[in-house]
Amino acid sequence: MVPGPIVHGIQQSLGANGADLAWVTAAFLLPAASLALNAGLLSDLFGRKRMLMIGVSVVAAGETLTGLASSIHQLQLGQAVTGVGAGVVIPASLAIATAGAPTALSRSRGVATWTMTLSLATMVGFLYSSLLSKTFAWQASFLGVAPLALVGLVVIALFADDSEIVPGRSLDWAGQVTLAIGIGGTLFAVASAALGSWTSVTTLLAAFVALTSLAAFPLAERREATPMLNLDIFKVPTFSAAVVAAVIGSFAFMGSVYVLSVRLGLQGKSATDSAIYFVVLQGVPSLLGLMLPRMMDHFRARPLIATGLILLTTGEVWFAFVPITRTGLLVLLGPLLLIGAGFLFIFSALTAAAMNAISARHLNLTTAVISAARNIGLFVGPIAITALLQRSAPPSNLDDLWHGYSVGLLICAAASLLATYTTLIWLREARTPTDEAWYSSFPRQTS
């Protein structure tokens, strides 16, 4: 999510309207969500380390293209390229972080450490981009990624362990194409409808292509000797519940982040002032990451996911009732800490639960599915709130505008409560899990 003040700079420089700016974030998340499962297959075929390096390189290229953009459409294209790289980086890095863990306990610790690192990196990214934007211009926020990517490539080349090529796997062209078009087309149709019209030719055509592709996907997979995604994986209740929690939890969290970014822009906060709020949102709660491995040791995933969702719900409701006229950091300190801590708990615990429910042979697949679910939720959150506001009567003043965003926050809170219910009812972990079970689970998957 690009901070509000940087978005304001983009709007002034490129003459973009609200819908154009909404498509900037959508352009990033759409390929990240629709191509994540392809990244899992490619990691099986070519190795995680190689795919991670390719993903980082694509991210650097996309951010450079974004920083050099002279029009809003070029900027959106740059963010789409970045999204392709991110769709590879997230699942590949998670798989590398947990691949060497021999037990369920050590895998949970690896997930907790990875989640904490991701949260800290996001916080540093906001500070870094805000500083560059204030010192130079908004373009520097994107161009500054390239040198960091170069450092990342050196670190990966020197220290990351590679994975063995999974025997028996092959490119599943029919499955890869139909699923990517199905997911991408569905998200594009949702965005087109939310930012435009539900009955436009673009929306209806995208929906038709997406539904056709999704219907063709299972047929293509049944004919494939080594399918990209064996749908029997979703017959594992713990895994399916974790995927649902990932979609809804990410939807609620990103909706809150989007509202925060808009609020700071409406209040006229500078890029560096805004960065402090994101430090509170993701930096301070990430300190809990130091305790996450121990909590994963003593508590099972279900209570941690439910606790995180309750924290997220409470923070969103609290945030919704803070008037827009109150501009200090202290008034948002409580809600932001609850939202940040809640998401940290949710994502760590559900990722560990999903990975411990599926065979180690399918590590790349597991991380790819969870990443795709997370990205789908992140995509839909801001789009849903934008659609709500566009369908409402035009606000007459700032308080009326904030009321619309407050309703969006309450919808996010309701979604979090729904995810809490599904987690408590649906997610069932074995009382005495064994590592042997992890390595032998899900026998139907062909690989």
Q: Residue 358 pLDDT more than 90? A: no
The answer to whether the beta carbons of residues 195 and 244 sit under 8 Å apart is: no
d(CA 105, CA 100): 12
Contact between 91 and 39 (Cβ < 8 Å): yes
pLDDT at residue 434, as a whole number: 41
Instruction: Give the amino acid at 52.
Output: L
Residue type, 176: Q
Taking alpha carbons only, the member of 374, 38, 365, 386 closest to residue 182 is 38
3-state DSSP helix/strand/coil percent for the chain, to nearest 5?
80, 0, 20
Q: What is the per-residue pLDDT across 112-156, written as a single tens digit (0 to 9) for each?
A: 888 888 888 888 887 888 888 888 888 999 999 889 999 999 999
Distances (CA, A) of 136 to 5, 101, 264: 14, 44, 20
Give all domains of the chain, ordered by start, each with its CATH number. Answer: 4-172+224-440 (1.20.1250.20)
pLDDT digits (tens, 9 = 90+) for 151-210: 999 999 998 887 666 666 677 888 889 989 999 999 899 888 887 788 889 999 999 999
**What is the model's pTM?**
0.86
User: If you write DSSP's letter for every residue of 1-66 in order, what string do you get?
Assistant: ---HHHHHHHHHHHT--HHHHHHHHHHHHHHHHHSHHHHHHHHHHH-HHHHHHHHHHHHHHHHHHH
Q: pLDDT for 225-258, tens place per residue?
A: 778 887 888 888 889 999 999 999 999 999 999 8
Classify residue 218 as exposed, middle or buried by CB count within 10 Å of its CB (0-12, 13-18, 19+).
middle
Q: To which residue do tokens 């994502």 refer?
A: 347
Q: What is the pLDDT of residue 433?
A: 42
Instruction: Judge contact between 156 and 3, C-beta under 8 A.
Output: no
